Each structure stands twice: as C-alpha cells, then as structure tokens.
Structure 1
Amino acid sequence: MMIINIISEVFSQTPFYVWVIFIYLLKRGIKASRDGELSLPKMFIMPSIFIIWGLEKLLTNFSYIGISMIFYTICMCFGTLISYYLYSRYRNIYIKDGSLYKTGSYLPITIMMTNFFAKYLLNVAMVVNPLLYSTLFFNILYSLLSGFSVGLFIGGILQAYKSYSNLKALA
C-alpha cells in the first residue's frame, strides 16, 4: 500500500508542464515511427526542450557547476556521435515532390521516452532529497544524462542535415 501512496504522490505533485512535455514527446515519437515529411527547423524543438530543462537545473541549483558543465559537454558530444551513427543506420532520408522525407523508425520514440523518464526520475529524486543538489556524485550523474540526452537529439539533426545536403547536391 505504501508504494501506491508514493506513486500517487509522485504523479499528483508532477507539474502540469511536465505532462504537456510528455504528451508532446509521445505524439512526436509516434509520428516519427511512420514515413513522413521532415522539417529541419522543427527538429530543433526537442533538443531545445531538453537543453532548457537540463541547464536550468544545473545552472540554478547545483553546487558543482563547473564540473557539471564539463561532464555535460563531454557527454553531449558522446551522445551526438552515437546518435549520428544510429540514425545513419536506421533512418533513410529522401526527397519527394521537392520536400524532404524520412522513413519511419522507432528510434526517435525510444530516444525521447528514455530521455524523458531518465530526466523525470532524476528530478523526482531531487524533490524527494534536495541534498542531492549539493552532492558531487549526483551533480555528475545528472550532467552525464542531461548532456547525453541532448547529444542524442543533435546527432539525429546532424545526420538529417548531412543526408539533406547530399540529396540536394545530387539533385
């Protein structure tokens, strides 16, 4: 019964904007699982959400900002490389009727939901135990996951841009 109370408390204390982000990510992920038109400008929406969500916490609440930013940046680069590789293998981009299209893939929804739940659980942990803000280990853990998650989105954008550039050069 105690676990049900904890779960109920977590869900009831979650800010409304977090549910909006979750629904938005879920819709975008489902849409990405089907073939469709690809908009490079729209691809920047999700990384922006995760950058703001992660950096807001790091810069305003954490005790080890310098170290956190170093780990954030390193993991962002690492996430970018991994995502670039994954998207080059699991998503094809093509031009149809003068517009950019992509084949459907479950990779985007997997990345989005994994990122969301990792960030959500880290934020719940900080609410439950505010002392985590001043713990070096947690500052680094949060930075690693935040940076990596942003990198996963950036790699997809870079791969899409590369594919788009290659297709335009051939056209």
Structure 2
Amino acid sequence: MLLLRIIADTPVWVWALFAFLIATGINALRDREMNIKGLFIMPLFFFLWGGISVINELAFLFWGLAAMLVGLMAGHWAGWSLSSGGRQLKSKEGSHLIVWPGTPWIIIFVIITFITKYTLNVFLNIEPELRFSLWFNIVFGVLSGFISGLLWGRTLNLYLTYRQANSCG
C-alpha cells in the first residue's frame, strides 16, 4: 500500500519527464541524424539535474559535491569503457550532420537513472532527516555524479573517436 501511495503522490511533471526520457530512449533504438552539438544535450541535462539535486536536497553541500565529483570520474571511466569498440558515429554524406547508430543503451540508461533518482527522492520524502545524514549525502552525490559521468564518458568517447577518424581521412 505504501508503494501505491508513493506512486499516486508523485507529481505529474515527474511522470511527464519519465515519459519524455522513455520516448528519447525508444528514438535512440534506430539510427538518428543530428548536428554534432546534439550529442551533448543529454549529458548536459543529466549533469545539471544531478548538480541541482545535490545543491537543493542535501545539507552537507561540500561532501555532496565532492562525492558527486568522485562519482562523475568513476562514471566517466565506466561510460568511456562501455562505448569503446562499439558502433561509432559516422558522417552523413553531403552534409554537416552525423549519424548516431541505434542502440538499446540509452533506454536502459534512462530507466535505471530514473529509478535511481526517483528512489533517492522517495527516501528523502519519507525520511526528510536523511538530508542531514552524511552517509546519505555521500551516496546521493556519488550516484548523481556516476549517472552524469557515465553519459559524459560514453558521449566523449563517441565524439573523440569520430573526430579522430574524420581528421585522419
């Protein structure tokens, strides 16, 4: 019953965001043509979302941000590693666009990310004193940073691999 109440009490904008993220993940299942700058929209969104959450939700701001930095570095390494050797970006002939190969990675990422961030915020709403728990601040910061870092590592690997392949040819 508690789970149903939590879901029912969740603001509509949270479900709208989840629907948007799922739609983005479904769209990412097929090849997409885009401007190279479009690669950086989602990583920037998740970085800002994580940073704003740490700043607004935690009492130990220094430790939350320090933990976010640690998570960002670990996530960057993991995202970079996960994208190494996979399908890479290609130039679209006769244009300034790139072709981003379809992948299930994005939909998996957004589902796991949403569940993680939703769960952290549910804990904060059920037990508001958690914002004054140093350990919770550290876990919240690390997870927020890891999510953002994972996306940045993957994106930068794709981008730099693309740039290197297109500068040599």
- Normalised TM-score (structure 1): 0.88
User: Gaps (5+ residues) in structure 1?
Assistant: none
**Given that residues 124 and 130 in structure 2 are in contact (C-alpha distance below 8 angstroms), is that contact kept between their aligned partners in structure 1?**
yes
Q: 1:140 to 1:78 in 2, by over 3 A?
A: same
Residues 16-55 of structure 1: pairs in structure 2 closer than 5 A: 16-55=12-51
1:86 is aligned, of 78, 82, 85, to 82
**Given that residues 32 and 106 in structure 1 are in contact (C-alpha distance below 8 angstroms), is that contact kept between their aligned partners in structure 2?**
yes
User: Gaps (5+ residues) in structure 2?
Assistant: none
Aligned to 2:135: 137
Q: C-alpha distance in 2, partners of 1:39/1:82?
A: 25
Residues 43-122 of structure 1: pairs in structure 2 closer than 5 A: 43-97=39-93, 98=95, 99-122=97-120
Q: C-alpha distance in 2, partners of 1:46/1:112?
A: 10
What's the Cα RMSD here?
1.7
Aligned to 2:155: 157
Q: C-alpha distance in 2, partners of 1:18/1:170?
A: 45
> Secondary structure in 1 aligned to 2:124?
helix
- Normalised TM-score (structure 2): 0.89
Aligned residues: 167
Q: 1:39 to 1:77 in 2, by over 3 A?
A: farther
Letter of the 1:130 counterpart: P
Task: Point out 4+ residue stretches in structure 1 off by more than 3 angstroms.
Answer: none
